[in-house]
Structure 1
Amino acid sequence: MSDFLIVGGGVIGMMTALQLADAGHEVTLLERGDCGREASWAGGGIVSPLYPWRYSAPISNLSRWSEGYYPELSLRLLEETGIDPEYCQKGLLYLRVEDEAEALAWARVVGKPLERVDSDFLYAKEPNAAPGCDGALWMPTLGSIRNPRLVKALRARLSAMSRVSLKEGVEVIGLRRQEERIAAVETAIGEFAVPEANGQVIICGGAWAAQLVESIGIRLPVRPVKGQMILFKAPPGLVSRVVLMDGRYVIPRGDGRVLAGSTLEEVGFDKTPTMEACDSLWHSATRIVPALADCEIEHHWAGLRPGSPDGIPFIGRLPGFDNLHVNAGHYRNGLVLAPASTRLLVDQLLGREPIVDPAPYRPLRC
């Protein structure tokens, strides 16, 4: 039997499993569908909050730690699996930033490279960017990762590890409580018993995390927030780096394709793509890079982010239980915060010194 039973096979669940297995523990991961096919697959892959100076310290602390970890993780996964997550660090250009002074002040405080650049610099970097800009903010250290390939590489690595048992197509329908511990995880194919001595259960269910703990009387304020994106079949070189304007962004991929996102919709668990959103994303993308108007929209999809009241994830042991933990509620920053948030939880699980103060992330703080 496994020391740790993880519910949810997105990037949070898989990175948790990887770290626990690296530390020598037996891990079972339960995923109702295919690993990495929900929000982890649907996002854009920018390894930073969109406007990082607008976020609270708890999010910024996790973000900075994660940003430094992604290059190492990407190289490791490429070496171990042959799948390239395509981590790319070409910086980000912010166009038409209203709170520019606040952004530059934030950068000085945290020591983050961010500067005001003129139009010559802007169009030398991105000749096809929106015309008529007198300059931009430039963050040279920002990177992005091709998240569908990241989750594919994580799944391949876990599948090859003898300490990890991946159970896909296994829907969790409840948790069986025995006094102050979880005795078993109930699924559509039967129970998975939790070892009585030291077995731990970790909920990494993303937008579905609240539903997973309702069966034991816990109300976790995590809700689904729909986001839609489109993919342009663009020629290589049309866009070379992430460009952000008016809250929307374009992200280039290594083969020339360009993602554009994203919407924010409070519509419950509805993941149906809509033409209204497609049109809105197309107009935003073609304002950022007008030449995209000549490119075919190759794909249009939607995903569900795990929203939380303040955007700060819930990380840690759930009150009233000795062996039940959660890592959910990352809102728009699941991929951004995944390395640090999973490391923070694993530090607590294994009794290590945590990378940051865990107090701001404690579950049920709201």
Structure 2
Amino acid sequence: MAASEFLVVGGGVIGMMTTLQLADAGHSVTLIERGRCGQEASWAGGGIVSPLYPWRYGTAVSRLSSWSEGFYPELAQRLREEAGVDPEYRQRGLLYLRVDEESRALSWAREQGKRLERVDADFLYAREPEAAPGFSEALWMPMLGSIRNPRLVRSLRTRLEAMPSVTLREGVEVTGFKMAGARAVAVQTRTGPVAGDQLIVCGGAWAAGLLETVGVSLPVRPVKGQMILFRAPQGLVQRVVLMDGRYVIPRADGRVLAGSTLEECGFDKRTDVQARDSLWASATAIIPALADCEVEHHWAGLRPGSPGGVPFIGAVPGIDNLYVNAGHYRNGLVLAPASTRLLVDLLLGREPILDPAPYALNGRLSVAG
């Protein structure tokens, strides 16, 4: 088999969106995933199409987020039509309860041109009658959207499977790279090398381990997040509600997600009763009626933590044809459309949608001698 023009390592949302855009541009792409595409952090998250508290992030994250938020409606419609799987994009806004940095948040919104406003109790309980009682005000972000990420990854995978220029290789673990001087000519797998002209690492929390095999130290680490899912009556919760760093997210069928924990424990994806109880307590504090609903599922995923939550996007220094797109921390799904478009622009020599400098690897990592 001839080498593909592009070889993408990692089949999460970042890897699949990269593959889709390269294939759209007429290129042959092989996507390699050690498990099944979309089953790690991309599946495990909540699907809010915004950082939870966007005013706490720097400009680099805000620029990616703003571009991506505007792109999701178009992407969801395309995937619904072309893949036959509805990612369930919903734009019903977000209510913030008990924000202790309200002035900072409102200042950020004015500077960014984002709609964020203080609302009174009548407004709050008209929109979410089951929200915790006793609040006299809240913050309201009316344009915020959410997407059902398990359905998003299924729709992306279905679309890629149907594209003749895309080769999906699942159940194939990449263990390193085959080098020829300053060029990576293939990835090494347990079943032999797989060649590609341009290699792109989109391995999420596992990206650092891959780059270590070529002496590159990428400061990306796994950060576990646990979530629970309530089987709730349809309409109990209408939109995302966030309080004290925890959130509830409604789905179209009535189910309600609650998340999430932040745990530094390596690659351990086990769930535990303490986290479940903590998430249940947070969810029922936000929506008391959830106490009467069954907890249907409890799971964990591994986010790719990075300094400041700013992803690494671009060429790997010292290797002619190796690129990376990883380190999105809590915002992989939020930032995916913009971060993948930015890298594809660089790969294809197009005018980039954003200044790539804040995300470049140069100056942000160390290369072993």
TM-score (ref. length: structure 1): 0.98
SS in 2 for 1:190: coil
Q: Aligned partners of 2:229, 2:261: CA distance in 1, in Å?
A: 14
SS at match of 1:102: helix
- Report the residue type matching 1:316 in the other structure: G
Aligned to 1:255: 253
- C-alpha distance in 2 between matches for 1:92 and 1:224: 28
Specify the SS of the correspondent of 1:9. coil
Residue 276 (structure 1) aligns with: 274
Is there any run of 5+ residues in structure 1 with no aligned partner, and where?
A: none
Tell me if structure 1 keeps the 8 A contact 2:7–2:195.
no
Residue in structure 1 matched with residue 318 of structure 2 by the alignment? 320
Matched residue, 1:51: 53
CA contact (8 A) 2:4 2:195 kept: no
- 1:118 maps onto 2:100 in alignment: no
Aligned to 1:346: 344
Residue 80 (structure 2) aligns with: 78
Q: Which residue, out of 228, 236, 240, partners 1:238?
A: 236
Q: Residue 356 of structure 1: SS of its match in structure 2?
A: coil
Q: Deviations over 1:131-150 (max 9, x none)?
A: 10001000000000000000
Q: Deviations over 1:183-231 (max 9, x none)?
A: 111011111123xxxx100000000000111111111111000000000
Match of 1:88 in 2: 90
Shift of 1:364: 4.8
Task: Write the distance in 2 (CA, Å) between the matches of 1:36 and 1:43.
Answer: 11
Give yes or no for contact 1:13–1:29 (8 Å, CA) kept in 2. yes
1:176 Cα deviation after fit: 1.2
- Equivalent positions of 1:45-194 (< 5 A) are 45-194=47-196
Say whether the 8 Å CA contact 1:12–1:204 is kept in structure 2. Answer: yes
Moved over 3 A (4+): none
Q: Which amino acid aligns with 1:103?
A: A
Q: What is the alpha-carbon distance in structure 2 between the residues aligned to residue 23 and residue 139 of structure 1?
A: 35
Match of 2:288, as an amino acid? P
Alpha carbons 1:312, 1:330 under 8 Å: kept: yes
3-state SS of 1:208 partner: helix
Change (3 A) 1:284 1:364: farther
In structure 1, C-alpha distance between the alignment counterparts of 2:163 and 2:363, rounded to whole Å: 36
Stretch deviating more after TM superposition (356-365 or 307-316): 356-365
Secondary structure of the structure 1 residue equivalent to 2:4: coil
User: What amino acid is the match of 2:208?
Assistant: A
Q: Distance in 2 between matches of 1:345 and 1:10?
A: 16
CA deviation vs aligned residue, 1:261-295 (integer Å, no higher than 9, x gap): 00000000000001000000000000000000000
CA distance in 2, matches of 1:111, 1:218: 39
SS of the aligned residue for 2:217 comes to coil
The answer to whether the 8 Å contact 1:314/1:364 transfers is: no
- Cross-structure match for 2:301: 303
Q: Is the 8 A contact 2:88 2:252 kept in 1?
A: yes
| Structure 2 counterpart SS, 1:123 | helix
- For the residues of structure 2 that align with 1:34 and 1:276, how far apart are their CA atoms? 29
CA distance in 1, matches of 2:69, 2:47: 12
Answer with 42-51 or 105-114: which moved more. 105-114
Question: 1:11 aligns to what?
Answer: 13
Cα deviations across residues 319-349 of structure 1 (Å, max 9, x unaligned)? 0011000000000000000000000000000
**Deviations 1:13-35, CA, capped at 9 Å, x for gaps:** 00000000000000000000000
Deviation at 1:365, TM superposition (A): 3.0
Report the RMSD for the aligned CA atoms in angstroms.
0.6
Separation in 2, partners of 1:215, 1:273: 30
Identity of aligned residues (%): 73
The 3-state SS of whatever aligns with 1:167 is strand
Match of 1:356 among 354, 357, 361: 354
Structure 2: stretches of 5+ with no match in the other structure: 365-369
